[in-house]
Amino acid sequence: MTDKTTTPQVPDDKPRFSLGGSQTFLSSWGERQNPTVRRFIMFGFGALFLLSVVRVVTDSPELTSSGTFGSALRLAVPIMLAGLGGIYAERTGVVNIGLEGMMILGTWFGAWGGFQYGIWWGALIGLIGGAMGGLLHAVATVTFNVDHIVSGVAINLLGLGGMRYLSVISYPPGSGGGATQSPTISGSIPKVDVPFLTGGELFGWQTPDLFGWVESQGWFLVSDIGGLLKGFFGDLSVLIILCVALVPLTWFFLWKTPLGLSIRSVGEKPVASESLGVNVYKMKYIGVVISGALAGLGGAVLVIEFANIYREGQAGGRGFIGLAAMIVGNWRPVGTFAAALLFGFADALQLRSEAAIHALLLFVAIALFLVAARAMSRQFGMLKGYAPAPAPVVPEGAPWTTRYRFLIQAVIVGAIGATVLAWFLISETVPSEFVFFTPHITTLVVMSIASQRLRMPAADGQPYRKGEAM
């Protein structure tokens, strides 16, 4: 007789998994990545098309210029790194709202290391500083079972107060630094251009700039794509390139390697993973320490790429925005990167052009109308007995709030869109206070209309004790 056993079920994508000696399991999870990537590509192209329309209507070239897209990418990288850090922690079941504090640790240690040993050492030491914050969070939440939110808040407070103390004792009078800032870091990260595409050099010869020429023609959509490509591939520092490369590396590690699959399993079914030979505590420690390291690297990037100096409050809430990017990105690397680019784009616009921010009002209004139209379509499908996913068919006897919830959503979003459109039509500028707060408002808006397909890991935030059923 053959011994048949039932394999545990993972609610994320509902595949079966098994743990053997090689710990190769949950292999089918990676199959879900391609539709996600395609969805974000389609969304990105649609957003670029709409931006092109708005650019032509409002005559705002800064809206899709290579400078704006290049700044968006650089500004998105710290947010992206914090978001990737959140993925590593929460895929192991540990909520990490301490990303902001770990990023603050990265800014201070990155500046200190860069001042003492050089700019590349600054990036590495900033990463280590964030990892120390992650280790502290892991000890509190995994070993001592402290509430994850309480521990995260404590890490944030430690980052604020502890770095002030370290600045006082590390930068005495006459050192060039003080209680709120470090001395200026000397040196810079090398930058690269792609030959023939963005005008890079080849054996000392300055090659043509194809993307720049396409952008300069002012063609509808085509020139906007040229500006996007030039911004993303031109005049990029090596550090930014290495950080962006962490997106596919994170996907490959978490979805294609045995260790990554083990990390994800403990965030879904830790008891089942333990019964099948996974060291749950070890996986949680690995995930949370990597989380802190990536947030710390994001803080070091803020110092090295944007200021060459540490200043108190430099993180500016980017750790929290990174957490929002992770949620909007559905706890996946590609989605997190796309969300970080959106927030970085809003940040770049408010730094480069107030006129472009005013033009962005038209973009937001049209986007909200499209969201309202999609909600109306889903409402129609529910009432007619069919509905494209994720809208379910209305059950018999359901209350009116359930029967017409998409209609309610469409009315609310449409009203907001009409308000934004009216604001655009009756004004010529946007108040400076609003311009400064654009990235944070973008975060709130995107979080409020994020897809209902979002699903956190099943055991995220739940306490775990070895040998105990959850």
Helix extents (H) in 276-353: 280-301, 318-328, 333-352
Q: Is 449 helix (H, G, I), strand (E, B) or coil?
A: coil
> In 229-268, which positions are buried (b, 16+ CB within 10 angstroms) versus exposed (e)?
bbbbbbbbbebbeebbebbeebbebbbeeeebbbbbbbbb
Tell me the CB-side half-sphere exposure of residue 423, using CA atoms within 13 A.
Answer: 20
* Residue 205 β-bridge partners: 202
Q: Which of 341, 384, 346, 387 is nearest to 363 (CA)?
A: 346
Q: Is 377 helix (H, G, I), strand (E, B) or coil?
A: helix
In whole angstroms, give the CA distance from residue 257 to residue 447.
31
Provide the pLDDT for residue 353.
Answer: 77
Provide the pLDDT for residue 37.
Answer: 65
Give the helix/strand (H/E) hosting 168: helix 148-170
Torsion angle defined by CA atoms of residues 340, 152, 250 and 193, in that order, rounded to the nearest 10 degrees: 40
- DSSP code of residue 171: S
Q: Which of 357, 361, 358, 340 is nearest to 349 (CA)?
A: 357
Provide the pLDDT for residue 232.
Answer: 93
Sign of the torsion angle spanned by Cα atoms 464, 465, 466, 470: negative
Q: Which of 177, 142, 158 is nearest to 103 (CA)?
A: 158
Residue written as tokens 């959140």?
A: 86
pTM for the model: 0.87
Specify whether the CB–CB gap between 95 and 148 falls below 8 A. Answer: yes
Cβ contacts of residue 389 below 8 Å, gap of 6+? none
Provide the pLDDT for residue 201.
Answer: 83
Specify whether the CB–CB gap between 85 and 291 falls below 8 A. Answer: yes
Would you kindly state where each structural domain of the chain is located, as residue ranges? Answer: 64-193+235-352, 366-436
Provide the pLDDT for residue 434.
Answer: 73
10-residue mean pLDDT series, the chain (470 residues): 42 42 41 60 87 93 92 95 97 95 97 94 97 97 94 95 93 87 91 88 86 93 94 92 96 95 94 90 96 97 94 93 91 92 87 83 90 84 58 60 79 91 90 71 66 78 75
- DSSP code of residue 305: I
Q: Is 32 helix (H, G, I), strand (E, B) or coil?
A: helix
Task: Kindly state the tokens that stand for 94.
Answer: 């540990």
Q: Which of 188, 175, 131 is nearest to 303 (CA)?
A: 188
In whole angstroms, give the CA distance from residue 128 to residue 88.
16
What are φ and ψ of residue 236, in 5° steps? -100, 140
User: 191-192 and 205-206: which strand pairing?
Assistant: unpaired
For the domain spanning 64-193+235-352, the CATH number is 1.10.3470
Specify whether the CB–CB gap between 244 and 433 falls below 8 A. Answer: no
